[in-house]
Amino acid sequence: MRWIFTIALMLFLVGCSTAPSNVMEQGSMTNEPAVVDEPAVVDEPPDSGFTGFKEMIGLTPTYMVSYTYTAAGESSTMTQYFKGGKMRVDSTAEGVSSRVYIIDGTATTCTNQDGWMCLEMPEAEGTEDNGLANIRTDVDSYEDSVTFKGTRNLLGETTNCYGVTMPGTAYTYCFTAEGIPLLMEGSSQGVEWSWVATSFSRDVDDSAFDLPAQPQSLESMLPPGVEMPQI
């Protein structure tokens, strides 16, 4: 669906992102440089890698995380918010601020270029986050692909890290105890990339999901007689 493509671009190709201060100032904000230690050597039962990973991605914690995303020698930043099944992603590219909201199964994109404008997309089914969507939908098929890689210290948090290896791809995900992803890195078809958290909060105010403008429907912007394509 087109909204999925939009969100994918947000998550992997966007430029610098900013988060509104009214949310970032609430609760306990960790804003230290992201320090990544070498993974500790931990003796675990043979099945603990997949079992722990499945548990982590099944959690739905409330959080706000700002990441630095690096790929092919280029870096950008973005901020994600999650609470009660709601999602928001902020970014800024070429001086234009953008946000993607997914609320109650509806995806809305908002841009601020001389004022906010929001566009409501077709119904969003299977909302996911952080590149884990495909794994979540069929997690048991990854049982033989997941290994426990030890712990890393990120932003003062001891995170558990898991590797997912498949033909041509290898990923590492590091989670806090409640399932907040603070590090994602890997390679796919020879392209290396990483997401490293630079700050995070376990507190997100409900107002973070208030749209900055009344949304217009995509259908309402089509010329008369033109129907929405089936994607």
Paired with 188 in beta bridges are 169, 191
Q: What span, in angstroms and rounded, lies between the C-alpha atoms of 120 and 218?
A: 6
Q: Which helix (H) or strand (E) holds 76?
A: strand 74-83
Taking alpha carbons only, the member of 163, 161, 162, 159 closest to residue 176 is 159
Domain 2-221 class in CATH: mainly beta
**pLDDT value at position 222?**
63
Q: 117 with 215: CB under 8 angstroms?
A: no
Look up the pTM and report it: 0.73
Q: What is the identity of the amino acid at 109?
A: T
The token duo for 175 is: 């989670």
Query: How does the average pLDDT of the chain come out, rounded?
Result: 77
Paired with 215 in beta bridges are 118
Q: What span, in angstroms and rounded, lies between the C-alpha atoms of 87 and 10?
A: 13
- Band (pLDDT 50/70/90 cuts) for residue 178 is very high
Lowest mean pLDDT, pick from 21-30, 91-100, 183-192, 214-223: 21-30
196 pLDDT exceeds 90? Answer: yes
Domain regions of the chain by residue span: 2-221
